[in-house]
A = this chain, B = another copy of it.
Amino acid sequence: MTLTIRNVIESLRSTVPPIENTVDVLAPGDPDAEVRGIATTFMATRQVIDRALALGVNLLISHEAAYYSHRLTKPFPDGDPVYRGKQERLRESGLAVYRHHDYCHRLEPDPIMTGLLRELAWEACVEEMLPAAAVLRIPETSASEVAEYVKARLSIPYVRVAGDPDKACSRIGVLVGYRGGGDNAIPLYRDKGLDLVIAGEGPEWETPEYVRDSAYQGDSRALLVIGHAESEEPGMRDLAERLRESYPGLPVHFIPSEPVFRVM
């Protein structure tokens, strides 16, 4: 039986009620095309697209959008060679790109979250799994030691730390992606009695300044910001594993990226 792109998308969405105005679209791509191979990745960068093509797949499942915007509200900048080059490479190659974002985060538990926890070897430490956060209890460890542990487990070159690096941490909240903002992270510290939040990304003068104020007022806390891609790649790696199990015999790959920033 032929496996089509539509079959794969329907399977990815099968256990989640329909989401209105979802950003999860197939673009470009023909839903009736036969799938000859799949690659998963955090973001369909130009280099990831070339790697997918070199691997011979014709469906790339990307967590984030190819064109640098969560929701494209404007046409591409007129004649911009970066957009145009990427669009032409996709068109000439026939690679289909499907965004697996909303239907992924809406699963319970969110596989992007469980992917990060697996990579951190913290699955057994979860006390509570909330829709947008995990609450963990680990053996007491200083925030700076947790930072070193996270760097080693995720093979990332640096993390950013706010608050008290010497804070002895046992209650930890984990938030993937762009959930490090104050609306998500600040209430968790108090409601869940957290010593430390580990987040992908968030505005700089929200949670970090809350944590700094908290430490200054005598309630020492800490925050690790590990990077948006760094927090979500493990979940996309896991997706490749699940797709391999679902479609035996079909080539399925995970394509990692180098960190987008270097610190100088």
A: residues with CB less than 8 A from B are: 43, 45-47, 64, 68-69, 74, 77, 79-82, 85-86, 144, 147-148, 151, 158-162, 165, 178, 182-183, 186-187, 190-191, 201, 203-210, 212-214, 216-217, 219, 225, 227-229, 260-264
Contacts and interface: CB of A to CB of B under 8 A. Distances in A.
Given A47-B213, A68-B182, 20 more contacts: A43-B205, A43-B209, A45-B213, A46-B212, A46-B217, A68-B205, A68-B209, A77-B186, A77-B187, A77-B191, A81-B190, A82-B214, A82-B217, A85-B213, A86-B213, A86-B217, A159-B264, A161-B261, A203-B228, A208-B260
5 contacts: A47-B212, A68-B186, A68-B207, A68-B210, A159-B263
- Which of A74, A190, A206, A260 counts the most B-chain CB atoms under 10 A from its CB? A260
Contacts of A46: 212-213, 216-217
A183 B73 CA distance: 10
B186 A203 contact: no
Contacts of A264: 144, 147-148, 151, 158-161, 165
Given A262-B160, A264-B158, A69 B206 contact: yes
A176 to B, nearest CB: 13
A260 B161 CA distance: 8
B161 A178 contact: no
Nearest to A163: B260
A205 B85 CA distance: 18
Contacts of A147: 264
B261 A160 contact: yes
A190 B217 CA distance: 47
Contacts of A262: 160-162, 165
What are the nearest 5 A-B pairs in CB distance? A160-B261, A46-B213, A204-B228, A208-B260, A68-B182
Nearest to A230: B204
Contacts of A216: 45-47
A169 to B, nearest CB: 14
- Which of A178, A208, A219 counts the most B-chain CB atoms under 10 A from its CB? A208
B205 A229 contact: yes
B82 A210 contact: yes
